[in-house]
């Protein structure tokens, strides 16, 4: 253990983290050398964020040890982690938009006069200027944070990390919202910091990033470490295999049905800054999977079709007729339904009863000469309760009394009750238990067999492969590949999802 090669600045040994019903990290090993850039990759939900939160002291591990320069340490909270000179820069900087750059940099550790404790603004501004200059960033320390671009805000965050003499810098998908040019700048700064002895943990979905700046890469899958490699000793293909190589062990019952008429056709859909050139078609009886990484623009396309954030250009045809959809109300009138990914925030009516939640979107259809028709409502709610196996004492209980998983099912029940032609489901089984997942898949399959068309956005490979008749893969706002059910494999989907789009 005294061998110089083994002297790590930070080491995680057998770290596990449990959340109710979920093993987020399962005996993870990870180590970081001084002056090294170490990349962490993995699918969505592989445990990367949890790992970061453990290193920054936000979460405490349930098992395992954290070693700092070979000594066991406990990060009770982020302040303790800060004391060990660990700082993090996120994709969306968590800063204070109304404060100035200087104030943001020195927040929590201001420069004060030794005796009077007066805040020494002039000194702080100069130091801020010096730090930003050393990063090669041309940013006015007196500008408000909110007036800066995301890339500039990241620079300020890095400057903040330098102001506390960070020795370990964690960068969580820093390039995700940067332009090419800004990405290059970030690479250069990260390398410069490395040469001055700072270690960096670099999390990214972009293989380009990893091969460009990292020395080593650790792959996480389902909360477990799959291995650590030197980047020049592992090919992109093997890396993908390590990321996705799990067995499909759940049963996905999508029935094969012959497709009917074309329900939805999208041509050249474009929304500034989110996606471009999106074309696809959905037929009756089809489940069309949308694969890709978080942030690839899948959800934004769905939201444009549903009228939440209408597209800037392109055509949407419903059953062959061109339509203009400017609001969810209009989308529903064309028979399009939407299951939001953030169901508790965007789908659930917490103070209302289970019945009222399930029937709210069809309430107008259930009336009898303009009056509510409770017996019809109760019939539908009870049927849904049974169908989705929602564990509740009855339909009149408030949804707030249900468990998270059952609340999710109520939102799914609301969509299914609406009996629409085209369903857009964003992560339909996210956060539900295995039994409910099977039930939801069964229902999706039945609905398709009845002649509905379903667009399913999913980050779960087995779900995409098992449920979809066809799969569209998106990357950085564009469709990079389309596969039929027979062609699609985990490796092909992942390859298309991480591929760098070459702009012509």
Partner 1 sequence: MAYIGIMAAAQTPILIAGLMDLSVGASAQLAGVLVAILYAMGWNLWLAVMFALAIGALVGLANAFSITKVRINAFIATLGMLNVIEGLALVLTGGLTISILVPSFQFIGMGEIFGIPFPIILMFGFFLFFYIVLAYTPLGRSIYAIGGNPVASKLCGINNERALTIILVLSGVSGAMSGILVASMLAAAAPAALSGTILTVIAAAILGGTSLSGGSGNVWGTLLGVLILGTLTNGLVILNVSSFWQEVIQGLVLLTAVGIDQIRQRRRRE
Binding site for partner 1 (CB under 8 A): 306, 308, 327-329, 331-333, 338, 340, 345-352, 356, 360-361, 363-364, 367, 370-372, 400, 414
Residue 31: closest CA among 50, 49, 14: 14
Smallest separation, CB 401 to partner 1 (Å) = 9
Q: From CA 115, how far away is CA 117, in angstroms rounded?
A: 6
Q: What are the helix (H) ranges across 319-370?
A: 328-333, 343-346, 354-359
DSSP state of 368: B
442: number of CA atoms within 13 Å, CB side?
Answer: 10
Nearer residue to partner 1 within complex by CB, 114 or 370: 370
Smallest separation, CB 286 to partner 1 (Å) = 23
Smallest separation, CB 114 to partner 1 (Å) = 45
Nearer residue to partner 1 within complex by CB, 172 or 356: 356
Nearer residue to partner 1 within complex by CB, 346 or 501: 346
Q: From CA 87, how far away is CA 89, in angstroms rounded?
A: 7
Nearer residue to partner 1 within complex by CB, 34 or 328: 328
Nearer residue to partner 1 within complex by CB, 30 or 334: 334
Question: Hey, which residues does 290 pair with through a beta bridge?
Answer: 457, 472
Residue 432 in 3-state DSSP? Answer: coil
How many C-beta atoms lie closer than 10 Å to residue 51's C-beta?
28
Residue 310: closest CA among 325, 332, 296: 325
Smallest separation, CB 438 to partner 1 (Å) = 26
Smallest separation, CB 464 to partner 1 (Å) = 24
Nearer residue to partner 1 within complex by CB, 179 or 401: 401
Do 116 and 144 contact (CB within 8 A), yes or no?
no
Smallest separation, CB 299 to partner 1 (Å) = 13
Q: From CA 149, how far away is CA 143, in angstroms rounded?
A: 12
C-alpha triplet 193, 197, 198: angle, nearest 5°: 55
Smallest separation, CB 472 to partner 1 (Å) = 23
Nearer residue to partner 1 within complex by CB, 108 or 370: 370
Q: From CA 365, how far away is CA 368, in angstroms rounded?
A: 9
CA 267 and chain centroid, separation: 26
Smallest separation, CB 363 to partner 1 (Å) = 5
Nearer residue to partner 1 within complex by CB, 196 or 327: 327
Whole-Å CA distances, 407 to 27, 147, 256, 292 = 31, 39, 30, 26
Q: From CA 388, how far away is CA 406, in angstroms rounded?
A: 9
Question: Hey, which residues does 484 pair with through a beta bridge?
Answer: 470
Nearer residue to partner 1 within complex by CB, 424 or 474: 424
Q: At 18, phi and psi to the nearest 5?
A: -110, 140
Q: Burial level of 109, CB count in 10 A (0-12/13-18/19+)?
A: exposed
Smallest separation, CB 90 to partner 1 (Å) = 24
């Amino acid at each position: 253990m005294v061998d110089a090669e083994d002297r790590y600045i930070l080491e995680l040994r057998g770290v596990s983290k449990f959340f109710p019903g979920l093993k987020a990290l399962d005996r993870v090993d990870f180590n970081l050398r001084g002056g090294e850039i170490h990349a962490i990759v993995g699918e969505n939900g592989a445990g990367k964020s949890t790992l970061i939160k453990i290193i920054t002291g936000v979460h405490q591990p349930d098992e395992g040890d954290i070693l700092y320069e070979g000594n066991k340490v406990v990060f009770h909270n982020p302040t303790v982690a800060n004391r060990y000179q660990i700082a993090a820069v996120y994709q969306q900087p968590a800063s204070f938009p109304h404060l100035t750059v200087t104030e943001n940099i020195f927040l929590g550790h201001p420069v004060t006069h030794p005796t009077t404790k007066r805040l020494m603004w002039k000194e702080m501004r100069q130091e801020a200027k010096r730090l930003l200059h050393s990063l090669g960033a041309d940013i006015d320390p007196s500008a408000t944070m909110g007036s800066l671009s995301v890339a500039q805000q990241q620079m300020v965050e890095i400057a903040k990390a330098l102001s506390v003499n960070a020795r370990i810098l964690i960068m969580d998908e820093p390039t995700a919202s940067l332009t090419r040019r800004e990405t290059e700048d970030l690479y250069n700064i990260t390398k410069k910091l490395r040469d001055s002895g700072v270690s960096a943990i670099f999390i990214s979905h972009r293989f380009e990033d990893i091969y460009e700046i990292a020395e080593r890469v650790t792959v996480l899958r389902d909360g477990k470490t799959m291995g650590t490699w030197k980047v020049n000793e592992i090919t992109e293909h093997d890396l993908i295999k390590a990321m996705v190589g799990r067995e499909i062990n759940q049963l996905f019952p999508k029935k094969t049905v012959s497709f009917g008429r074309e329900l939805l056709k999208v041509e050249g859909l474009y929304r500034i800054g989110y996606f471009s050139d999106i074309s696809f078609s959905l037929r009756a009886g089809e489940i069309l999977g949308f694969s890709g990484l978080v942030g690839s623009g899948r959800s934004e396309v769905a939201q444009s079709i549903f009228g939440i954030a209408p597209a800037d250009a392109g055509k949407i045809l419903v059953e062959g007729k061109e339509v203009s959809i400017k609001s969810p109300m209009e989308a529903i009138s064309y028979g399009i339904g939407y299951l939001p990914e953030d169901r508790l925030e965007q789908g659930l009516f917490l103070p209302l009863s289970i019945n009222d939640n399930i029937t709210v979107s069809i309430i107008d259809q259930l009336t009898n000469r303009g009056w509510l028709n409770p017996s019809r409502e109760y019939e539908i709610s009870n049927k849904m309760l049974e169908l989705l196996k929602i564990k509740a004492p009855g339909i009149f209980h408030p949804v707030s009394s249900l468990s998270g998983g059952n609340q999710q099912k109520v939102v799914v029940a609301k969509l299914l009750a609406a009996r629409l032609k085209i369903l857009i489901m964003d992560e339909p089984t996210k956060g539900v238990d295995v039994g409910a997942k099977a039930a939801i898949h069964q229902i999706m399959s039945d609905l398709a067999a009845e002649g509905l068309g379903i667009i399913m956005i999913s980050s779960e490979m087995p779900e995409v492969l098992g449920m979809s008749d066809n799969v569209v893969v998106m990357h950085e706002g564009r469709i990079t590949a389309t596969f039929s059910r027979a062609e699609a494999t985990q490796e092909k989907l992942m390859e298309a999802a991480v591929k760098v789009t070459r702009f012509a």
